[in-house]
Structure 1
Amino acid sequence: MDYQRILEEIADEVKPLLKNGVVANYIPELAKIQQDKFGMYLLTLDQEPYAVGDYDEKFSIQSISKVFMLAMAVGKCKEKVYRRVDVEPSGDPFNSLVQLEYEEGIPRNPFINSGALVVTDMLISNLSDPRGEFLEYVNKLTGQDDIRYNEKVAASEKLLGFKNAAMVNLMKSYGNIHNDIEEVLDLYFDFCSIEMTCHELAKAFRVFANHGKGVIDSHRYLTKSQFKRIAAIMLTCGFYDEAGEFAFRVGLPGKSGVGGGIAAILPNEYSIVVWSPGLNRKGNSLAGMKALELFTTKTTSSIF
């Protein structure tokens, strides 16, 4: 299949959408990003790369980091993770407080903000240097040693992170946060601030496409059972309250971030990443969603 031609066709078809989305301006540092950026990168398990646009420009991966957080926590804590975080789609915005209070401090899933904050708390409890070890983990997944946090983005998020602070305090009141509130928030903002390119994210997610086993180093990051559960959560919960729409239109497990990135996998076949900073009303990349819908339509590839 001529993947390169298909990516180039998609880039042309989504070009009119690049001016329609809204950059995540509630995070001051992200508001500075040029809206018409677009990159796409496909990486097959046999290491064939295909790319178009701004695929080698770094961007803040934001909530995509929650996949790495969950994978690392599951590797450390096994099934205990799911005692403190549920695995159901939320049906509500990613920063909703209402559902969290109704369900007595147990987040619906690990990919909404409250769930990722609990996962952050678990990593603090189980790692001697969570900030450094998490970065090392992401670098290892990517096969690099130069992935970094963006301190300006993290500080920008903390400046206006009132809802996240409210969530941590609420969950602390129910006993589902074990560590210092400020420590949890600071680390969570660091995790979300990681910068990667489409190329780098595709390399990291290729490990998930390979059922949790490294393609280059053959290291097993997750058991097949752990991978299966994380892939299921990506499919059902990876796109805020638009997960059903993504499954319906694209048909791949994946995760989005308000930095405009989307990373997805077809197990045993490929990882694919798209970046376009303009978001739709649900907080997902407008052009990115369409690009991946076009890709699975043109290639007739999905998990279904």
Structure 2
Amino acid sequence: MTPPDDATLQAILDRIALEAREDPDKGRVADYIPELAAIDPDQFAIAVARPGHPTLIAGDAATPFSIQSVSKVFTLAIALGLRGDRLWERVGREPSGQAFDSVILLELERGRPRNPFINAGAIVTTDAVLSGTHEPRGALAAILSFVRDAAGDEKIHINDSVAASEIATGHRNFALAHYLLSHGNLENPPHETLGTYFHQCAIEMTCRQLANAGLFLTGCDDAPGLVSPGRIRRINALMMTCGHYDGSGDYAYRVGLPGKSGVGGGILTIVPDKASVAVWAPGLNRYGNSKLGTEAMQRLSDLTGWSVFGTAPD
């Protein structure tokens, strides 16, 4: 399939945004986090960033939202820069088959999380960044600086109200952190690691900013060179197999691209050697991933032929 030109791609995005707006089933917002429970589910945005092209947008792409677990991609990149392959002594690289906040596998596997994108694994990677910067303020500065550099935008910030809301209601994450500590897999006090983790998840971005921030993972020659080509390959592999929790297989089947979701309704998807795509729709499906966002990415993959597995299915 011939790669779409800018005009064709813009028409595709506009069509996808219109279809999303007309869908009566928006999914359900993450109502267990009070600040996210108040988000209007009737919002939708999509953005496509490609090196050497304008970033194309449709829908509410100028509206900022909490990226939540999409932030785990950036923190993993930083942690690998600090620890290299030694990080894998503390966290695995296998799909979990469980919900993102499950404690079951953590108990069965003696405190070594299955992968860095479930909550327990992300707490470990955040802990590694915290150890490398020695204090929460320094860790958050490093994470925010990385995201700003990736997006080329200094205006990106942390929403303190969302962070406070997560701290007040994050009891399961506190349990995960203490369980990690009980197995010697936490290097810093739980309240410091989790304070960093909750603030990292509360980074606020627009779809345009998030799509631009993902360009470093495309592997394009003129994309930001923030990590090595080898790490780009490995992060993309983990996004493909683990980026949507127990819905990762479904996302790979429907979209065929590496992606990372967040309960704020955002999804960052990478088209290797071509593009970075961000989509946002606050309502979630049963896996805790954006319902309309997943459907929009399937539509985009079908219409463009963007998939690591070949062109659109019959």
Q: TM-score of the superposition, structure 1-length normalised?
A: 0.96
- Contact 1:18–1:36, Cα closer than 8 Å, also in 2: no
Q: Which residue of 2 aligns with 1:15?
A: 21
Counterparts of 1:123 and 1:241 in 2: how far apart (Å)?
Answer: 26
For residues 196 and 71 of structure 2, the distance between their equivalents in structure 1, rounded to whole angstroms, comes to 12
Q: Equivalents in 1 of 2:56, 2:255: separation in Å?
A: 19
Q: Deviations over 1:86-131 (max 9, x none)?
A: 0000000000001100000000000000000001110111114112
Query: Which 5+ residue runs of structure 2 have no aligned equivalent?
Result: 310-314
Secondary structure at 1:273 match in 2: strand
Q: C-alpha distance in 2, partners of 1:18/1:54?
A: 18
Hey, what's the Cα distance between the residues in 1 that align with 2:203 and 2:73? Answer: 13
Equivalent in 295, 300, 304 of residue 295 of structure 1: 300
Residue 14 of structure 1: CA displacement? 2.4
TM-score (norm 2): 0.93
**SS state at 1:90 partner:** coil
Identity score, percent: 44
Tell me the alpha carbon deviations over residues 1-27 of structure 1, each in whole angstroms, 9 at most, x when there is no partner: 200111111122222436431011100
The aligned counterpart of 2:271 is 266
C-alpha distance in 2, partners of 1:115/1:155? 21
Q: Write out aligned runs for 1:144-293 (5 A).
A: 144-210=153-219, 215=223, 218=224, 220-293=225-298
Given that residues 19 and 35 in structure 1 are in contact (C-alpha distance below 8 angstroms), is that contact kept between their aligned partners in structure 2?
no
Contact 1:18 1:287 survives alignment (8 Å): no
The structural deviation recorded for 1:287 is 0.5
Question: 1:116: which partner in 2?
Answer: 122
Q: Aligned AA for 1:180?
A: P
Q: Measure the CA separation in 2 of the matches of 1:272 and 1:208.
A: 11
Residue in 1 aligned with 2:61? 55
What amino acid is aligned across from residue 193 of structure 2 in structure 1?
A: V
User: What's the CA shift string for 1:220-252, capped at 9, x where partnerless?
Assistant: 321111111110000000001100000000011
Q: In the aligned structure 2, how far is the partner of 1:126 from the partner of 1:250?
A: 36
Tell me which amino acid in the other structure corresponds to 1:132. Answer: A
Shift of 1:51: 1.1
Deviations 1:247-281 (A, max 9, x none): 00001101000000011011110011110001111
| 2:33 maps to which of 22, 27, 31 | 27
Distance 1:18 1:63 in 2: 26
Query: In structure 1, what residue type is equivalent to 2:277?
Result: I
1:214 deviation in Å?
Answer: 6.4
* Contact 1:206–1:270 under 8 Å retained in 2: yes
Which one-letter code corresponds to 1:156 in the other structure? Answer: S
CA 1:52–1:127: 2 relative to 1, 3 Å: same
CA distance in 2, matches of 1:120, 1:146: 23
Q: C-alpha distance in 2, partners of 1:205/1:121? A: 23
**1:104: which partner in 2?**
110
Secondary structure of 1:29's counterpart equals: helix
Q: What amino acid is the match of 1:99?
A: L
User: 1:89 aligns to what?
Assistant: 95
Letter of the aligned partner of 2:234 in structure 1?
R
What residue ranges of structure 1 are gaps of 5+ in the alignment? none
Question: In the comparison of the two structures, how many residue pairs are matched?
Answer: 300
Distance 1:7 1:294, change over 3 A: same
In the alignment, which residue of structure 1 is the partner of 2:312?
A: none
